[in-house]
């Protein structure tokens, strides 16, 4: 079955983790043997071969570069211009993968329909992996002219904030609203038709963004605060508002977002019995709030700064996302509901936005 993964940091892995995603996953892991600069060295789960093996033929692929002001302890770049240059390097990698026949940028409905049809006609020669370009955190947008330039490059979704304080909005673990620059950004996004990704917005910025933005929005990789109490997750009230706005919410597989009480770099998936089944709890919670299966999807965030040490214990690679279909079936979900969650809801969303 075709899988649509609404959040993968592919270019970040290629450039900052120095992973050649064209190679087999075992080779990527082996090449990192002995490295300790990242906590997930040797434990990556994502490469193109594993995406194809699992049917992940469409994804939302990110650009990401945080700008940090003096005194901000988070990792990032020391000027917006440096952050912009980093995202342009990431774009250059996506272009190189397109030229190598590994990826294909999807920018409109015609391209989406053609690509989805190709993947659903397998077995035939495996098409490239389709990707919709997204920006996670808007700090690299130096001016609104840079946003228009990004749109011309194919940017189709944007999350104004990531972790901590941002230029245009406040993110996870921060507080506060958008401010005038954030409101100007949302106005320009609405004019261009760029999807607002509300993932990572702190509660204050979330509610202000929904008041000021009237275009399409989604939550590419977010879970439920009712199951894991943390400001990174969405409350039931927030989820209900997203449902009312026709959004789709992609369930994320970062372990600390799936089980309460997780301590990073201490808790292990085996110690708490974390298995892939747990993401179905979050997917099901959204479905129960909606009264249907039309607003849930997958936004795995796999290898988003973590690897197998912070993923379900029974997940070896991204190909294991295909097992979610069987887990949903065991919960009583119909074949149509399963197709919608695995890919149909995000496809429908994009068809509507790009109509």
Taking the C-alpha atoms of residue 335 and residue 340, their distance in angstroms, rounded to an integer, is 9
pLDDT at 120: 85
* pLDDT > 70? residue 125: no
Neighbours of 143 (CB within 10 A): 10
- Interatomic CA distance for residues 188 and 213, integer angstroms: 10
Q: Which residues pair with 170 in a beta bridge?
A: 165
Terminal CA-CA length for the chain: 25
* Domain spans of the chain, in order of start: 3-353
Burial 201-238 (b: 16+ CB within 10 A, else e): bbbebbebbbebbebbbbbbbbbbbebbeebbbbeeeb
Q: What CA–CA distance (Å, rounded) separates 106 from 60?
A: 10
pTM of the model: 0.97
As assigned by CATH, the class of the 3-353 domain is alpha beta
Burial class (CB in 10 A: 0-12, 13-18, 19+), 152: exposed
For 271, the token pair is 């110690």
Q: What is the mean pLDDT of the chain?
A: 97
CA distance 208 to 6: 24
pLDDT, tens only, 7-46 = 999 999 999 999 999 999 999 999 999 999 999 999 999 9
Reply yes or no on whether the pLDDT at 218 is more than 90.
yes
Where do the H-state alpha helices sit in the chain? Answer: 10-15, 25-31, 48-54, 80-99, 109-120, 144-152, 179-192, 203-212, 236-244, 277-290, 324-330, 335-339, 345-353
Complete DSSP assignment for 15-34: HTS---TTS-HHHHHHHTTT
**Backbone φ and ψ of 133, nearest 5°:** -80, 130
pLDDT for residue 123:
59
pLDDT digits (tens, 9 = 90+) for 144-166: 999 999 999 999 999 999 999 99
pLDDT surpassing 70 at residue 122: no
Confidence at residue 23, expressed as pLDDT on a 0 to 100 scale: 98
Q: List CB contacts of 54: < 8 A, sequence separation 6 or more.
A: 3, 317, 318, 319, 320, 321, 322
């Amino acid at each position: 079955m075709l899988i649509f993964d609404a959040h993968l940091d592919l270019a970040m892995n290629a450039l900052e983790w120095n992973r050649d995603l064209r190679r087999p996953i075992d080779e990527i892991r082996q090449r990192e043997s002995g490295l300790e600069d990242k906590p997930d060295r040797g434990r990556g789960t994502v490469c193109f071969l594993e995406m194809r093996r699992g049917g992940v033929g469409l994804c939302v692929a990110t650009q990401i570069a945080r700008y940090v002001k003096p005194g901000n302890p988070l990792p990032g770049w020391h000027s917006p211009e440096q952050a912009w240059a980093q995202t342009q390097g990431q774009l250059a990698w996506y272009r190189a993968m397109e030229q190598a026949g590994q990826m294909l940028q999807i920018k409109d409905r015609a391209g989406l329909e053609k690509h989805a049809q190709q993947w659903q006609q397998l077995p035939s020669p495996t098409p490239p992996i389709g990707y919709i370009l997204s920006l996670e955190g808007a700090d690299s947008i130096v001016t609104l002219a840079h946003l228009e330039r990004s749109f011309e490059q194919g940017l189709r979704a944007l999350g104004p904030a990531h972790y901590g304080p941002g230029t245009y909005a406040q993110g996870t673990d921060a507080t506060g609203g958008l401010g005038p620059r954030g409101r100007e950004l949302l106005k320009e996004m609405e004019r261009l038709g760029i999807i607002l990704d509300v993932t990572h917005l702190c509660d204050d910025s979330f509610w202000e963004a929904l008041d000021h933005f009237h275009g399409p929005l989604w939550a590419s990789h977010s879970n439920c605060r009712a199951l894991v109490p943390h400001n990174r997750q969405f409350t039931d009230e927030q989820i209900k508002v997203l449902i009312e706005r026709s959004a789709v919410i992609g369930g994320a597989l970062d372990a600390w977002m799936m089980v309460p009480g997780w301590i990073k770099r201490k808790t292990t998936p085996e110690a708490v019995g974390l298995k892939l089944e747990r993401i179905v709890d979050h997917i099901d919670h959204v479905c129960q709030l909606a009264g249907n299966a039309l607003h849930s999807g997958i936004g795995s965030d796999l290898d988003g700064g973590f690897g197998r040490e912070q993923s379900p214990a029974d997940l070896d690679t991204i190909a294991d996302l295909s097992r979610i279909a069987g887990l949903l079936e065991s919960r009583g979900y119909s074949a149509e509901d399963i197709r919608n969650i695995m890919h149909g809801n995000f496809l429908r969303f994009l068809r509507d936005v790009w109509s």
